[in-house]
Structure 1
Amino acid sequence: MKKLLTLSVTLTCFALITCAQNVIPLYPDSIPNSKPVPDEEKSETNDKGYITISKVSRPALTVYLPPKEKANGTAVIVIPGGGYRVQASTHEGSDVAKRFNEMGVTAFVLKYRLPGDVTMINKEIGPVQDAQRAIQLVREKAKEWDIDKDRVGIIGFSAGGHLASTAGTHFNHAYIKVGRKVNLRPDFMILVYPVISFADSITHMGSRDNLLGKDPSAERKAAFSNELQVSKKTPPTYLVHAEDDKTVKVQNMLLFASALQKYKVPFDFYLYENGGHGFGMNNPTSEVKWMDLVQEWMVKNNWIK
């Protein structure tokens, strides 16, 4: 019995060490656009067993490597939602990363800074700085993780979808210091019940307020309404939403799809009739698994080889 207990403790310690090695700070030195404040990050578990984290001021990437025999060189950066107030780190984060691992895709869950005047000099650019740095870091370490630099995608949920679509439409503007030849453009995007527009009529007001403040100018609202930022260089995109979503109106997704179509950017989508908001990978109202459809889309478009 004592030997079994010792073995259990040893394995637990080994698991913790392994896990710790897989968490990488986004910035090796100082965090840009950051104020020197204590780390007040905390996590909570709700009645569904989902973990959310709040007050994030130290951004990081958690690396999820697929089994070597399955690895195909594709990478995806996973951005959980939470209204730019918290981050849904399990059902829109680690669970999604593990599903990508089953596809042979290397996944990285991004813990991005949550906007706040206390922790940041300019809170509206903090999250996109972290998304761009994540893309830069994954490509910098591509050889280490056996990743193809030309197959680095991004997936975002809800406000995380807003951040992902910001990375996918603002890549020509570097919010962090990078060399001229650094590629900040995701190769593909997957946006799940995403906040897209900051227009008064359809935006998720909580996300907009948290990122831009209570009374942003028309110019700032337009700058971060990502349906207005689409161009012919926007990455190919897969979109998922539910028609009855009362939190983030489906018009967000439809406007983005319309903009993609206008600029002849390849896209596909799945629209659930029901399901509401925040269902993660599993919409309880339908037998359709949208992640299976995403996998088919990725294979069809050679993102998975």
Structure 2
Amino acid sequence: MTRTHMIVLPGGGYAAHAQHEAEPIADWLSGLGIQASVFRYPLNVRHPAPLVALRAEIRRRRASGADNIGLIGFSAGGHLAGLAALAPGAEPADAVQFAVLGYAITSMETETYRPSRLILLGEDASSEARRSTSLDKLVTPQSPPFFVWHTAEDIYVPPEHSYRFAAALAANGVPHALHVFAHGPHSLGLAEGAGDTAVWTTLAASWLREHVRT
């Protein structure tokens, strides 16, 4: 039997785990009939430690009977979700079938949200290290589908991150949805009471129906 499980990756700049992007997201997914769990990946460690840990969690969920694995991540958690879905070197058991990214850090080549880059790569990261951890540089025609959302007013992780990533998805013919809402700060989570931006959950729920198998 095919069964979907989604792993929730809260943000926090690779230095903390934002609570409102953890269990509340898993509860929302459960309300959609999707099995979900929160994974609190290692913090304040260098790449690839968070990715190695997440891949182990994916293998664990697959061994427990889920053969359709989706990820949903926010900010730094979105970056990690993207790495797990895109980075080379994954075993078949590590495979990610689809991912949802909320206001994600996608590029380590920009100077925006530098603190996460310093944690992951250090002060003197090489251009190759920065490139190999930038999601837009990892996309191939074989990449899984993505749902991406952001706000135009995000000053911590500017929407440029999502635009760069979506452009790479489009250039490689990867199925995706991109929604950039006019208003709202960084770290909105479910965005309840955030005006038009709150509709992201409705849009994502519709998109997920195409990718969730039970």
Q: Same fold (TM over 0.5)?
A: yes
Is the aligned partner of 1:135 residue 2:51? no
d(CA) in 2 for partners of 1:97 and 1:285? 20
In structure 2, the gaps of 5 or more residues are none
Is the aligned partner of 1:210 residue 2:119? yes
Structure 1 residue aligned with 2:207, among 289, 294, 297?
297
Partner of 1:244, secondary structure, is coil
Q: TM-score, normalization: structure 1? A: 0.66
302 and 207 in structure 1: CA distance in 2 versus 1, 3 angstrom threshold? closer
Partner of 2:22, secondary structure, is helix
Please list the CA deviations of residues 205-259 of structure 1 after superposition, one character each: whole Å capped at 9, or x if unmatched: 0110111111211111111111001001111000010001000010100011000
Structure 2 residue aligned with 1:173, among 77, 89, 94?
89
Please list the CA deviations of residues 173-210 of structure 1 after superposition, one character each: whole Å capped at 9, or x if unmatched: 14xxxxx6x33121001000000001134x31011011
Structure 1 residue aligned with 2:21, among 86, 92, 106?
92
Is the aligned partner of 1:244 residue 2:153? yes
Farther-moved stretch of structure 1 (124-133 vs 279-288)? 279-288
Residue pair 1:132, 1:167 contacting (<8 A) in 2 also: yes
125 and 206 in structure 1: CA distance in 2 versus 1, 3 angstrom threshold? same
Residue pair 2:98, 2:211 contacting (<8 A) in 1 also: no
271 and 257 in structure 1: CA distance in 2 versus 1, 3 angstrom threshold? same
Q: TM-score, normalization: structure 2? A: 0.94
d(CA) in 1 for partners of 2:110 and 2:81? 21
Task: Tell me which residue corresponds to 1:163.
Answer: 80
Residue pair 2:75, 2:102 contacting (<8 A) in 1 also: yes
d(CA) in 1 for partners of 2:185 and 2:213? 30
d(CA) in 1 for partners of 2:3 and 2:176? 22
In structure 1, the gaps of 5 or more residues are 1-71, 117-122, 175-179
CA RMSD in angstroms comes to 1.6
Q: What count of residue pairs does the alignment treat as equivalent?
A: 212
Task: Tell me which residue corresponds to 1:192.
Answer: 102
Give the superposition deviation at 1:157.
0.3
Is the aligned partner of 1:113 residue 2:30? no
The one-letter code of the counterpart of 1:173 is: G
304 and 270 in structure 1: CA distance in 2 versus 1, 3 angstrom threshold? farther
d(CA) in 1 for partners of 2:27 and 2:44? 27
Residue pair 1:115, 1:127 contacting (<8 A) in 2 also: no
Give the superposition deviation at 1:304.
4.9
As a proportion of its length, which structure holds more helix? 2
**Which gives a bigger RCO, structure 1 or 2 (Cα 8 Å, sep 6+)?**
2
Residue pair 1:81, 1:92 contacting (<8 A) in 2 also: yes
d(CA) in 2 for partners of 1:225 and 1:187? 20
Task: Tell me which residue corresponds to 2:138.
Answer: 229
Residue pair 1:79, 1:155 contacting (<8 A) in 2 also: yes
Give the superposition deviation at 1:73.
3.2
Task: Tell me which residue corresponds to 1:77.
Answer: 7
Is the aligned partner of 1:261 residue 2:170? yes
Residue pair 1:115, 1:124 contacting (<8 A) in 2 also: no
Q: Where do 4+ consecutive residues of structure 1 move more than 3 Å?
A: none
The one-letter code of the counterpart of 1:273 is: A
% identical aligned pairs: 31
Structure showing greater Rg: 1
d(CA) in 1 for partners of 2:30 and 2:85? 23
